[in-house]
Amino acid sequence: MAPPGTTAMGSTLLLSQSFHHEIPSDWSIDHPDWWSVVDGHLRARLPDRKQRRSLARFGADDWADVALQVDVCGVRGVDKGVVVRLHGDDGIGIDLRGDGYDDVLVYRGRTELGKAAFPNTNGRWYRLRVELRGRRIQVRVGHQLVVDADDSGAATRGRMALAAYTGGARECEVLFDHVKVSSLGR
């Protein structure tokens, strides 16, 4: 068994968050009325309008080589995901897109960094894991590596966020749980 604050592989556990009753007070949410804790899960429910987004930010500006793991379940809409290496509104988005897209998209701004087919449906939980080492970004869904990309233009440190988007579908409700961030060695 690993000592407190470490994982079995020796990396340091930086954050472990489940959602029992309320949103953590040190998290920053841009549209607090759209987020709530329901049945032990963090829920984002956005207005039914085109191209709306909301972020639940957490972590530290100096997080560098880290792994983010989160359980995510789309309830309505297409888009669900995370943002890593976040500074202000700039970061690397990882979007697990369902209904008609069925893929994982990794992007910074309007630049696509990686994309892979991955069938996913609303009403089902998926474990998303993003590993960041230097400029390398690896995305796993479950145990399957789906995207392995490099981003020469991105910051190598930053905060993180859980993300919800209505996109062109004009709807989004997504659940998150079991957020973990661990440091990684190079």
**pLDDT, tens digit, for every residue of 4-43?**
444 445 579 999 999 988 999 999 999 999 999 999 999 9
Running DSSP on this structure, what letter comes out for residue 87? E
**Residue 168 main-chain phi, psi, to 5 deg:** -75, -15
Arithmetic mean of pLDDT, 143-169 = 91
| Under 8 Å between Cβ of 66 and 185 | no
Q: How far apart are the first and last CA of the chain?
A: 23
For residue 186, the model assigns a pLDDT of 55
For residue 10, the model assigns a pLDDT of 59
**Residue 34 main-chain phi, psi, to 5 deg:** -90, -5
Indicate the pLDDT class of residue 2, thresholds 50, 70 and 90. very low
pTM of the model: 0.91
Q: What is the pLDDT of residues 82-132, one digit of tens each?
A: 999 999 889 999 999 998 899 999 999 889 999 999 999 999 999 999 999
Where are the domains positioned within the chain?
42-183
| Under 8 Å between Cβ of 180 and 63 | no
| Under 8 Å between Cβ of 168 and 4 | no
| Under 8 Å between Cβ of 77 and 172 | yes
Q: Which two tokens stand for residue 5?
A: 């604050």
CATH superfamily, domain at 42-183 = Exo-inulinase; domain 1 (2.60.120.560)
**What residues have CB less than 8 Å from 9, skipping those under 6 apart?**
none
Length of the chain: 186
Closest CA to 40 of 97, 121, 125, 98: 125
Q: Which two tokens stand for residue 163?
A: 């993300």
- Cα(118)–Cα(105) distance, integer angstroms: 10
